[in-house]
Amino acid sequence: MNALTDRLAGALVLPQPYVLFLGDTTIAGFAKTAFGLKDWAPDKCVGELRLPGATVTTGLDALTAAEAHARGARALVIGVANLGGVIPANWRASLIEALEAGLDLIAGMHMRLTDIPELAEAAHRLGRQLIDVRVPPPHIPVGTGRKRSGKRLLTVGTDCALGKKYTALALHRAFIARGIDSDFRASGQTGIMIAGGGIAMDAVVSDFEAGAAELLSPDAAASHWDVIEGQGALTHPAYAAVSLGLLHGSQPDVFVVCHEPGRTGMLGTAGYTLTSVEEIVELTLLLGRRTNPAIRCGGFAFNTSALDEVAATELMARESARLGLPVADPVRGGPAFDALVDSCLA
C-alpha cells in the first residue's frame, strides 16, 4: 500500500496472518484496531479470540489460540485500544496461552508487551516475538514548519474513533484508482498494521509531534498525494495535543472532516459534548494556516453505520446542501463519495 521512506520503514516486518484478540471488551469504539484490520486487511485475519464477558465481535470466526494457529495464524494482535492503552492482568493468561500455541504477540497499546515480566519470560522461553507497534522511530527532530514539496490531505474529526482512518484509506484507494500517485500515511497502531509502517503519533513526546508528522509525509513529487490518517480531535479535552501537532506538521493542502451523526458525547470523556463540524472547519483553518496558508476543506466524511441506506442518503444530501461541500460515507461509496474525491483533488 505504501512506498515507505527509508527512515520510516525501520525493517518492521509483522508476522501474518493474524487472530484478533478482543479481550473482554464491551464498547465497540475501543475495538477499532480489530475492526480496522477486519475491514481493510481481511486477507490477513483468520478469526477472533474473545474472553468471557466480551460483547463486542468483528463477526469473524471465534477461535482458540490453538485453532487459530491450525488455520495458519502466526500472530495474535491485540485489537483493543482501551482507555490508557493498558493490558489488564486478566488478559495475560490468554496471551501466554497464545504464545504456547505458537503465536507471536503484536500490540499497539501504550503499555508495552515487553514491559510485562510474565509475557517477556514466556516469549523468551518459547522463542516467540513480542512486537510493540506503538514505538516511534529514534531521533525525531523538532518541527521546522518548512514547506515541503508534494500535496497532502489530512483527515480530521469531531471525536476519536469515528472514521478518520477509514476515510484516509478510502480516499487513498480512490486516488490510486484514478491513476494518481499516492501514499497512505499511517499515524496510529491499526493503520501501521494495515500499511506495514508509519508513526504512532500518540507515542511521540509533545515537543516532537510536528517533527514526527513532517517525517511521516516527506518531500515528494509535485503531483504526489500523501493521504494522512488523522488522530483525535482539536476539541477533545484529552487528545487535542496530538491532533494539533499532526495538523501543523502535516501542512495539509486539503482536509476532510470526519463525523458520526447522532453521536453527542466525546468518547471516553464524560460530560463533554461533540463540537459541530462547522467549528472543526473553523479551528482547522485557523490553526492549519500557521504552516500552510492555502489550507482548505475538501468536504465531510460521515460515519452513517447506524442508519439505513435511505436515511443516510437523505441526511448526507441535506448536510451537503447546508454546508456547501460534498458529504459522503466512504464505506458506502457511490456518487456522493465520488463528489468528495473530486472536491479534494480540485
Q: Sketch the domain layout of the chain as residue ranges.
A: 6-132, 151-345
User: Which DSSP symbol is given to 222?
Assistant: T
Distance CA 286, CA 296 (A): 10
167-183: b or e for each residue (b if 16 or more CB lie within 10 Å)?
A: bbbbbbbbbbeeebebb
Max CA-CA distance within the chain?
Answer: 62
List average pLDDT for each run of 10 residues in the chain, which is 346 residues long. Answer: 41 80 92 90 95 95 98 96 84 97 94 95 97 88 96 97 94 97 93 86 94 95 97 95 97 98 91 95 98 98 97 98 98 97 97
Mean pLDDT of the chain: 93
Residue with cell 460515519: 303
Distance CA 21, CA 51 (A): 9
**151-345 and 6-132 share a CATH fold:** yes
Model pLDDT, residue 12: 55
**This prediction's pTM:** 0.84
Q: Which CATH architecture has domain 151-345?
A: 3-Layer(aba) Sandwich (3.40)
Candidate CATH numbers 3.40.50.300, 2.130.10.10, 3.40.50.720, 2.40.50.140; the one for domain 6-132: 3.40.50.720
* Residues whose CB is less than 8 angstroms from the CB of residue 98 and which lie 6 or more positions away in sequence, other chains included: 19, 21, 49, 65, 68, 76, 105
Interior CA angle at 102 toward 101 and 108, to 5°? 100
The residue among 155, 314, 125 whose CA lies nearest residue 234 is 155
Distance CA 121, CA 90 (A): 17
Model pLDDT, residue 2: 44
Distance CA 342, CA 9 (A): 31
Tens digits of per-residue pLDDT, 19-52? 999 999 999 888 989 998 998 899 999 999 999 9
pLDDT > 70 in the chain, percent: 96
Distance CA 335, CA 224 (A): 24
101-131: b or e for each residue (b if 16 or more CB lie within 10 Å)?
A: bbbbbbbbbbbbbbebeebeebbeeeebbbb
Interior CA angle at 240 toward 8 and 150, to 5°? 40
CB atoms inside a 10 Å sphere around CB 272? 15
CB atoms inside a 10 Å sphere around CB 184? 25
